[in-house]
Amino acid sequence: MTVPTHHPGDTLLIDYAGGALGEAASLIVATHLALCPCCRLNVAEMEAVGGALLESIEPEEVDPACLETVLARLDDLPPLPRVPRPKLVCQPAEVPLLPEPLRRYVGGDLSRLPWKRLMRGMDCYDIPLGSGSGYDSARRGKARLMRLASGVGPPHHTHRGIELTLVLDGGFTDDLGQFARGDLSVADDSVRHRPVADEEGCLCLAVTDAPLRFTGALGLILNPFVKF
Amino acid sequence: MRAETALPKTCPKKTCPKKTCPKTWMQDLGSPAAGADRTFEELLTAVGRNRDRAAFAALFGHFAPRLKAYLRRQGCDAGGAEELVQDVMLLVWRRAETYDPSQASAATWMFTIARNRRIDALRREQRPEIDPADPTLVPDPVESADDGVAARETAGRLRAALRTLPPEQADLLRLAYFEDKPHSLISAEQGIPLGTVKSRLRLAMERLRKAMRDSR
């Protein structure tokens, strides 16, 4: 089993471990983690740093009634089931192509998704995020599945903001190198690149985190995979 | 279900964590003693196994004021923070059974629960995470029993390393973990160039990682 060679890098993983990333960027980082044991270890260590920081924070006094309230409610609450997922009787014949948590968002059967054609050889599916009203969608970012035929790439252009692209099947090549399953490309406005799908085509997850959070400017979601 | 809360101290289960967990960090480098003779990891395990209310109260006494401070820095007012602290502690009670002391210190486990709860409550967003049982997950390379895990969770060494970080690195680290802001926004707000923010965070993480991995 090959492991990825292009990784999110420490700062993005710290943002994920600390919980500062929006949902779209968290989705792509977590899906990379499913395919990359090395970044999983990094995140576990970064969460340990979060634990150590929590230990060292200046405590704030809590109303003593709080403990009473909580203790009074304990008996109403049964423990959550130890492993809340159904166990399969036998292993599935095939390992699903899409790892969790992505599979939960788009389902296991790509052929059933309502793909939208962007141009010849390029289809997309916008992934619904979140759970209804009351959220700040600009902050959440945007996530999209992209399917590219061999040799196809988005039109050349410049952009601002940050874009994250994770290869799920096949691969693509750009100025930064060759990207295969599990590889995550991180590009910001310092990078000018024109990805082109490899011979076997390319299925990828493309994410733009909220531009507001990255540039302080309104509008302009500019991932070449996302902006159409 | 809940009669076990009154289990006497001689309950044989109480000795299980040490028996089943070959790791040594809990004994010599784990969290500071929680007033009594038990570490926070042992207290949390007791809550999970025995529904131990005294252990839960001790955990509350230590962590609730820290969780409140954490949530206040995320933008909660005092009342809202206390309500969320109660939510988090109730989740701790309900999930304690799933706590594995060989995987994380008590503080780390509480941190992840508080982080996810506040993303849910304050942002109304989901927190996408891996599923360890997913057949598609690329497994960890084979490692010896103590490798990785023990190194990851040497809480004492980590805390010591944190205290010796240069202030400009420690400050940025706190902003990144406590202010709900990605490094790019920290850069904009603090007027520090993005490259500087990144390199300081990277340097800080390298030192902390070294402390965690060297403790093997």
User: Using 50, 70 and 90 to split pLDDT, how confident is the model at A2?
Assistant: confident
- What is the mean predicted confidence (pLDDT) over B123-144? 85
The residue ranking higher by pLDDT, A196 or A133, is A196
Tell me how crowded residue A14 is: count the other CB atoms within 10 A of its CB. 28
The residues, ordered by sequence, that sit 6+ positions from B9 with a Cβ below 8 Å of its Cβ are: none
Residues of B in contact with A50 (CB under 8 A): 108, 111-112, 115, 177
Domain assignment present for residue A188? The answer is yes
Residues of B in contact with A34 (CB under 8 A): 130-131, 134, 136-138
Q: Is B193 on the interface with A (CB under 8 A)?
A: no
A51 to B176: CB separation less than 8 angstroms, yes or no: no
| Cα gap A69→B90, rounded to integer Å | 10
Q: Calculate the average pLDDT of chain A.
A: 81
Query: Are A216 and A207 contacting, i.e. CB atoms less than 8 angstroms apart?
Result: no
- What is the mean predicted confidence (pLDDT) over B23-36? 44
Instruction: Examine the pLDDT at B97 and tell me if it is beyond 80.
Output: yes
The pLDDT assigned to B25 comes to 38
B159 → closest Cβ in A46, A56, A103: A56
B111 to A3: CB separation less than 8 angstroms, yes or no: no
Structure tokens at B88: 């988090």
B138 to A52: CB separation less than 8 angstroms, yes or no: no
Query: Are A24 and B123 contacting, i.e. CB atoms less than 8 angstroms apart?
Result: no
| Cα gap A200→A202, rounded to integer Å | 7
Domain assignment present for residue A32? The answer is yes
Domain count, chain A: 1
B97 to A37: CB separation less than 8 angstroms, yes or no: no
Residues of B in contact with A100 (CB under 8 A): 130-131, 134, 136-137
The pLDDT assigned to A9 comes to 92
| Cα gap A64→A227, rounded to integer Å | 52
Domain assignment present for residue A222? The answer is no
The pLDDT assigned to A191 comes to 63
For the stretch B2-13, pLDDT in tens is 333 333 333 333
Q: Which residue of B has its CA nearest to A35?
A: B138
ipTM: 0.83
For residue A106, the enclosing domain spans 10-215
Structure tokens at B82: 């206390």
Helix axes B78-95, B53-73, angle to 10 degrees: 140
Per DSSP, the residues of B126-167 read ------TT-TTSPPPPP--TTTTHHHHT-HHHHHHHHHTS-H
Q: Are strands A163-174 and A184-187 parallel, antiparallel or unpaired?
A: antiparallel
Q: Is B44 on the interface with A (CB under 8 A)?
A: no
Domain assignment present for residue A4? The answer is no
- Give the number of C-alpha atoms closer than 13 A to the C-alpha of residue B35, restricted to the C-beta side: 10
Query: Are A67 and B64 contacting, i.e. CB atoms less than 8 angstroms apart?
Result: yes
CATH of residue A151: 2.60.120.10
Instruction: Examine the pLDDT at A144 and tell me if it is beyond 50.
Output: yes
The pLDDT assigned to B29 comes to 41
Compute, in degrees rounded to 10, the torsion defined by CA atoms B66, B71, B76, B77.
0
Q: Are strands A142-148 and A184-187 parallel, antiparallel or unpaired?
A: unpaired
pTM: 0.83
Domain assignment present for residue A228? The answer is no
The pLDDT assigned to B181 comes to 83
3-class DSSP state of B51: coil
Domain assignment present for residue A1? The answer is no
In chain B, what are the domains? Answer: 18-125+149-153 (1.10.1740.10), 155-216 (1.10.10.10)
For the stretch B34-91, pLDDT in tens is 455 788 999 999 999 999 999 999 999 999 999 999 999 988 898 999 999 999 999 9
For the stretch A164-208, pLDDT in tens is 999 999 999 988 899 999 999 988 766 666 789 999 999 999 997
Residues of A in contact with B53 (CB under 8 A): 71, 74
